[in-house]
A and B are shown apart, each in its own frame.
Chain A
Amino acid sequence: MKNIADYLKEERKQEWRAELRKKVKAKERTSRERTQMPEFDPEERSHNYEEVNLGFDEEQALFEATRCLDCPDPTCISGCPVGINIPKFIKKIEANDYLGAAGVLKETNALPAVCGRVCPQEKQCELNCFYTIKLHKPAIPIGSLERFAADYERNSGQVAIPEVAESNGIKVAIVGSGPSGLSAAGDLAKMGYDVTVFEALHEIGGVLKYGIPEFRLPNEIVDVEIEVMRKMGVKFRTNFIVGRTASFDQLRAEGFQAFFIGSGAGLPKFMNIPGENFNGIMSANEYLTRVNLMHAAHEDYDTPVLFGKNVAIIGGGNTAMDSVRTAKRLGAERAMIIYRRSREEMPARVEEVHHALAEGIEFLNLNNPIEYFADENGRVNKMRLQKMELGEPDASGRRRPVPIVGSEYDVDVELVIVAVGTSPNPLLAQVMPEIEVTSWGTFKVNKETMQTSVPDIFAGGDIVRGGATVILAMGDGRKAAVGIDQYIKEKVKK
């Protein structure tokens, strides 16, 4: 394979791009102000489930695409875990070839409409954009442009089905249908493998379906991408728990030559403080699953969900933001984030924090719950908070929160959502003790091939990383697809 830097140079030399570069002076490109992503009115949207970001229109996309300098050394690419050829797709937009832009995205990213919406761009591609590094100006909105191209393609009704190599008839099993599993499945199908994705739940998509709410990522968008995979020949089996419904040995006997495990970080953590098992206190996974996967807030669906006037969410990540904004939409008058550090340390995407603030979410930073109280039916009615201050930096480099003794005070709550992290899904470790795990319970893999200690089993995504992002999970899936291909070719040779 050719060196990537050479490949990028060659691509950049192409006439159409050279011409585009000449069309507008660099000075003019850089003099423009970055366009704000249009959003739904905060007051109105905090009562419905419509998507918050509306997406660029054609004019806005063209304007932003023109800002991009098509740099000789596109540093942005190094910030993207799947190495999207960013200038190429952006210049396709500038050249009004939107379907072409979508095509470039699909060369390396199976779910561009998803990533354009949920990637923490400000920490990845946009952080490494020339504008950010050298000009100290707002970056090219790479994620929003990615979303524009992917949405354009979807709305055009001409979604391209990636080319699939001639079938080699070799069966590969994917365990889990989250982003890592889907991207591994897509790449293996392209290589001609006979791929089956097994999913424990009744819906395909993993966290994209049960976790991230519709107002950030409509389910329909995930479904369109899954349809594309079906057309590529990928088979899906829902309600199938690998290791339980059938063992790995049974699947091997059925002819599966290799496995990719993308089973995610399922198990919710609790804080183990007094009163945490009272009714009305639940994990973010439970809350979001009830609302997103089971549609509990819709009258005609059977699954119930609890409501509250005063709702507290414990945590400061994406999961906490999604939960608190969901609570607001389900009628909470006071929807609060309780986070033990300050705003700066919050791991959530910056955009989500801004959206939450605009929607009237209260932030109780430097606060930590230490106990819950309940009424006579066991339903939570009060929580005790302790104030915190920031001390010395800890192992993660963030300043450690230290409790302020004597600062305790009580707050009324009828619903508490605990979003303090998850541990690896324990189901597979129970049935596959042969797979080596770390002390965190995550699977150990060879970083190049994603192979586990069991030769025909590969893994990636949150089960390997603990908790990560959609795009990192997808990057793992792609790496594993290559690893599996090599492994099978070796095996066949013997």
Chain B
Amino acid sequence: MNKIVFKEFLSENVARIVVDAPEIAKSRKPGHFVIIKIGKKGERIPLTIADADEKAGTITLIVQKVGVTSAKLIALNVGDEITDLSGPLGKATDIKKIGTILCAGGGVGVAPLFPIVQGFKLAGNRVITVLAARNKDLIILEDEMKKYSDELIIMTDDGSSGKKGLVTAGMEEVIQREKVDEAIVIGPAIMMKYGALTTKKYDIPTQASLNTIMVDGTGMCGACRVTVGGETKFVCIDGPEFDAHKVDFDQMMKRLGAYRQEEVEAYENYLNS
């Protein structure tokens, strides 16, 4: 049981939740995630540790409502408990001083991107961050990102904030302007696919953090498997970060839809309950 000590909405469907978890706060590194489960009958879902405060013994989760479990989580309030929370899982991001890093995040991918931006900045890199969303209201963590980025570029589909256009347009702008040593893209699978295609054109080494379906998160079930460079990999133990130029994103997108029908039905039942 882990108590929620703080909660706020970053946009209509995205909440920042700070949870009591002293051991994880101490052990976690950027790139790590946790698995949570709500209630006896809940399912296990993975969420990135967006931030941690070792002294206070808390970790921060940023959650977007997409289905039953994420909806249940953001409906919890300060003082409520998350029934099960385990971690930190996954391999930590390999953070070192490289030079100029281009960080691109879309949708709720911005949450897992934050600790990476922070980590690279603190390691002495020049960090340029591109955040993308459909409109102004869906942009999250703008101030936090600004704090740890040498430059922050906002892209929206409708131009209601920053520039009008897709995340890839923002990335291209930077790449054409200056030398980028490494790129990181995190967001919906389709965004990562095109982000990776963009950097590939310029031969920039690129990492993507994959958000596949998971059950245990400890390498026991294989639900999270993806094809990377023709080989099957388990995202929870071999990742979540992989060489974006080698990931089979088309297969990953199909696999994300494996339970779509069941999930839609479950969500309708939840709304009616």
Contact of A295 with B41 in the complex, beta carbons under 8 Å: yes
Tell me if A266 and B218 are in contact (CB < 8 A): yes
Do B266 and A285 touch across chains, with their CB atoms under 8 A apart? no
State whether B218 touches A302 (Cβ < 8 A): no
Instruction: State which residues 282-319 of A face B: CB under 8 Å.
Output: 282-283, 285-286, 289-290, 294-295, 298, 300-304, 306
Give the docked Cα–Cα distance between A59 and B142 (Å): 75
| Bitwise interface map of B from 209 to 232 toward A, beta carbon under 8 Å scored 1, else 0 | 000000110111111011100001
In the assembled complex, the Cα of A425 lies from the Cα of B219 at a distance in Å of 7
Query: Contacts A279-B254, A279-B258, A306-B258; is A267 near B84 (CB within 8 Å)?
Result: no
The listed residue (B43, B69, B83, B257) touching A279 by CB distance below 8 A is B257
B86 touches A239 (CB 8 A): yes
Task: Judge whether B42 is part of the interface by a CB distance below 8 angstroms.
Answer: yes
Q: Which residues of A contact B24 (CB under 8 A)?
A: 245
Chain B residues near A268: list those with CB within 8 A: 220-222
Q: Which residue of B lies closest to A303 (CB)?
A: B43
> Hey, which chain B residues are within 8 Å of A201, CB to CB?
86, 216, 218
Q: Is B62 interfacial (CB 8 A cutoff)?
A: no
User: Complex Cα distance A234/B89, Å?
Assistant: 26
Besides A282-B221, A294-B43, A379-B258, 6 more A-B contacts (Cβ < 8 Å) are A246-B26, A246-B27, A267-B219, A283-B221, A289-B216, A378-B257
* Residue numbers in B under 8 Å from A486 (CB-CB): none
B66 CB, min distance to chain A CBs, angstroms: 13
List 18 contacting pairs A-B, 8 Å CB cutoff, sorted by A. Answer: A201-B218, A238-B84, A241-B89, A250-B27, A267-B234, A268-B222, A270-B225, A277-B227, A282-B222, A285-B221, A301-B41, A302-B42, A302-B68, A304-B259, A306-B262, A378-B257, A425-B218, A425-B220
For B218, give the chain A residue with the smallest CB separation: A200
Collect the chain A residues with CB atoms within 8 Å of residue B85's CB.
239
A270–B37 CA distance with the chains assembled, in angstroms: 28
When C-beta atoms are compared, the residue in chain A nearest to B258 turns out to be A279
B134 at the interface (CB under 8 A from A): no
Residues of A within 8 A of B27 (CB): 244-247, 250
Chain B residues with a Cβ closer than 8 Å to the other chain, count: 42
Chain A residues lying within 8 Å of B94, measured Cβ to Cβ, are: none
User: Taking the complex as formed, is A377 at the interface, i.e. its CB lies under 8 A from any CB of chain B?
Assistant: yes
Contacts of B68 in A (CB 8 A): 302
In the complex, chain B residues whose CB is within 8 Å of the CB of A300: 41
Q: Is B7 in contact with chain A by the CB < 8 A criterion?
A: no
C-beta contact mask, B78-94 vs A, less than 8 Å → 1, else 0? 00000111111101000
CB proximity of A396 to chain B, nearest CB, Å? 25
Given contacts A200-B86, A244-B27, contact A427 B237 (CB under 8 A): yes
A30–B23 alpha-carbon span in the complex (Å): 62
A215 at the interface (CB under 8 A from B): no
Contacting residues, chain A, for B227 (C-beta < 8 A): 277
A residues less than 8 Å from B43 (CB atoms) = 294, 301-304
B215 touches A294 (CB 8 A): yes
* B3 / chain A contacts, CB cutoff of 8 Å: none
Interface set of A (CB-CB < 8 Å, partner B): 200-202, 210, 238-241, 244-247, 250, 266-268, 270, 272, 276-280, 282-283, 285-286, 289-290, 294-295, 298, 300-304, 306, 377-379, 425-427, 430
Docked-complex contact A427 and B215, CB < 8 angstroms: no
In the bound complex, CA of A378 to CA of B260 (Å): 12
* Contact of A202 with B86 in the complex, beta carbons under 8 Å: yes
Is B245 an interface position by the 8 A CB rule?
no
The CA-CA distance from A294 to B232 in the complex, in Å, is: 25
Chain B residue nearest to A201 in the complex (CB):
B216
User: Counting CB contacts under 8 A, is B263 at the interface?
Assistant: yes
- What is the minimal beta-carbon distance from B193 to any residue of chain A, in angstroms? 15
Cβ-defined contact, A290 with B215, below 8 A:
yes
Contact A289 B215 (CB under 8 A): yes
Contact B219 A245 (CB under 8 A): no
Set A244, A277, A303: member contacting B88, Cβ < 8 A: A244
Q: State in angstroms the CA–CA spacing of A470 and B221 once bound together.
A: 20
In Å, the complex CA distance between A239 and B85 comes to 6
Bound-state Cα–Cα, A303 to B259, Å: 10
Least distance between A487 CB and chain B CB atoms (Å): 26
The 6 nearest A-B residue pairs measured at CB? A378-B254, A304-B262, A239-B86, A286-B221, A266-B220, A302-B43
A289 CA / B218 CA spacing, docked (Å): 13
Q: Answer yes or no: B136 CB below 8 A from chain A CBs.
A: no
- Complex Cα gap A250–B251 (Å): 40
Report how far A201 CA is from B221 CA in the complex, Å: 12
CB distance from B24 to the nearest CB of A (A): 6
The one of B237, B251, B255, B263 that contacts A426, using a Cβ cutoff of 8 Å:
B237
| Given A267-B219, A272-B232, A285-B222, A246 and B23 contact (CB-CB distance below 8 Å) | yes
CA distance A72 to B160 in the complex (A): 90
Residue of B nearest to A430 (CB): B237
Q: Which of B23, B37, B221, B232 contacts A245 (CB 8 A)?
A: B23
Pairwise interchain contact A302-B266, C-beta atoms closer than 8 A: yes
Q: Is B44 close to A, CB under 8 A?
A: yes
Give CA–CA (A301, B72) in the complex, Å: 13
Contacts of B179-224 to chain A: CB distance below 8 A: 215-216, 218-223
Q: How far is the CB of A298 from chain B (nearest CB, A)?
A: 8
User: Which residue of B87, B220, B221, B259 contacts A244 across the interface (Cβ within 8 Å)?
Assistant: B87
Specify which chain A residues have a CB less than 8 angstroms from the CB of B86 in the assembled complex: 200-202, 239-241, 245
Q: From residue A415, how far is it (CB to closest CB) to chain B in Å?
A: 11
A241 touches B222 (CB 8 A): no
Whole-angstrom CA separation of A300 from B269 in the bound complex: 10
Contact B254 A286 (CB under 8 A): no
Partner of B41, one of A266, A302, A425: A302
Q: State A245–B88 Cα separation when bound (angstroms).
A: 6
B259/A270 in contact, CB under 8 A: no
Q: Is the CB of B223 within 8 A of A286?
A: yes
